[in-house]
């Protein structure tokens, strides 16, 4: 089933996608918001540029975008896959709890903000390029991987922007390379990836390698920096009973 999105507003387009209720291709996306919200069990292939909150509350569906996506990709996503062949905007994977967001290009500010995990749900965000500032802010779980394949950000000279991992209290961040010159906050531990980390990383990167045609061995042929929180209770000592 092919839907032509051109000229439809988000309400009409999303109603059509829901009405189809099975795999479909959407052509001519032009900024329509909320595409695929809450969907499970289907595959959407999108051409053009979908708007904000692509795949919000996604519940198991697969969304593949052959172009760029905008802000809040996978907002509060629970399960499923979002694969973007271009760049994405700000706040991708906000409070995401499960599933995978896999981006070939760059990401904006606040990627993976307040990402969580729960039982067998461990969300993963993989950014092939660089990210903006505030990467993994308040990260409470899950895995964020930044590869920086196209080189560092022209704005900061690093593959991440300013202030990564502020308020991080769970989960794990992988940065390709040695993250030299990146300023991390006091409440995280920063180290080079060991054998176990690299085995875990290899598992996460399979979808990236497969989706965008990179050899997995080549992706892994580099140092990786691992960032984890040094406490689950960053605010424990802050209060006194009154």
Partner 1 sequence: MPNYILPDFEVERRDDRCIRCRVCERQCANEVHSYDEENDVMLADELKCVGCHRCVALCPTRALKIVKYSGTFRENANWSNQSILEIYKQAESGGVLLSSMGTPNPCPVYFDKILINASQVTNPSIDPLREPMETRVFLGKRPQNIERDETGKLNNNLPPQLELSVPIMFSAMSYGSISYNAHESLARAATELGIYYNTGEGGLHEDFYKYGPNTIVQVASGRFGVHKGYLDVAAAIEIKMGQGAKPGIGGHLPGEKITEDVSRARMIPVGTDAISPAPHHDIYSIEDLRQLVYSLKEATEYKKPVIVKVAAVHNIAAIASGIARSGADIIAIDGFRGGTGAAPTRIRDNVGIPIELALASVDKRLRDEGIRGNVSLVVAGSIRNSADVVKAIALGADACYIGTAALIALGCHLCRTCHLGKCNWGIATQRPDLVKRLNPEIGYKRLVNLVTAWQHEIKELLGGMGINSIEALRGNRLMLRGVGLNEKELEILGIKHAGE
Applying CB under 8 A, which residues contact partner 1?
Answer: 10-11, 14, 18, 33-34, 37-38, 40, 52-53, 56-57, 59, 71-72, 75-76, 78, 91, 94-95, 97, 110, 113-114, 116-119, 121, 137-138, 140-141, 167, 169-170, 232-242
Structure tokens at 39: 């969907």
Quick one: 118 or 210, whose CB is closer to partner 1? 118
Sheet with 2-4, side-by-side order of all strands: 2-4, 24-30, 43-49, 59-66, 79-84, 100-103, 124-127, 140-146, 170-176, 224-229, 188-192
For the bound state, the minimum distance from the C-beta of residue 119 to partner 1, rounded and expressed in Å, comes to 8
Quick one: 152 or 234, whose CB is closer to partner 1? 234
142-153 CB burial, b ≥16 within 10 A, e <16? bbbbbbbbeeeb
For the bound state, the minimum distance from the C-beta of residue 194 to partner 1, rounded and expressed in Å, comes to 23
For the bound state, the minimum distance from the C-beta of residue 93 to partner 1, rounded and expressed in Å, comes to 11
**Contact of 193 with 160, CB cutoff 8 Å:** no
Place of tokens 């995978």: 100
Quick one: 117 or 153, whose CB is closer to partner 1? 117
For the bound state, the minimum distance from the C-beta of residue 91 to partner 1, rounded and expressed in Å, comes to 5
- Give the whole-angstrom CA distance, residue 102 versus residue 10: 24
Quick one: 33 or 176, whose CB is closer to partner 1? 33
């Amino acid at each position: 089933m092919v839907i032509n999105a051109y000229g439809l507003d988000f309400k009409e387009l999303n109603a059509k996608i829901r009405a189809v209720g099975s795999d479909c291709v959407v052509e001519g996306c032009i900024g329509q918001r909320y595409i695929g919200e809450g969907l499970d069990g289907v595959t959407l292939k999108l051409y053009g540029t979908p708007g904000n909150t692509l795949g919000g509350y996604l519940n198991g569906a697969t969304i593949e975008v052959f172009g760029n996506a905008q802000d809040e990709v996978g907002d509060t996503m629970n399960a499923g896959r979002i694969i973007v062949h271009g760049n994405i905007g700000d706040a991708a994977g906000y409070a995401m709890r499960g599933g995978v967001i896999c981006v070939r290009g760059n990401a904006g500010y606040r990627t993976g903000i307040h990402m969580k995990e729960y039982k067998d749900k461990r969300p993963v965000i993989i950014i092939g390029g660089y990210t903006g500032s505030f990467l993994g802010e308040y990260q409470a779980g899950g895995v964020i991987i930044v590869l920086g394949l196209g080189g560092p950000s022209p704005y900061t000279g690093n593959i991440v922007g300013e202030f990564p991992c502020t308020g991080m209290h769970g989960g794990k961040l992988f940065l390709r390379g040695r993250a030299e010159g990146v300023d991390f906050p006091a409440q995280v531990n920063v180290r080079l990836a060991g054998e176990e980390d690299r085995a875990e990383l290899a598992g996460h990167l399979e979808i990236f390698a497969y989706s965008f045609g990179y050899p997995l061995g080549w992706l892994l042929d580099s140092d990786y920096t691992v960032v984890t929180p040094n406490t689950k209770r960053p605010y424990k000592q802050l209060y006194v009973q009154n």
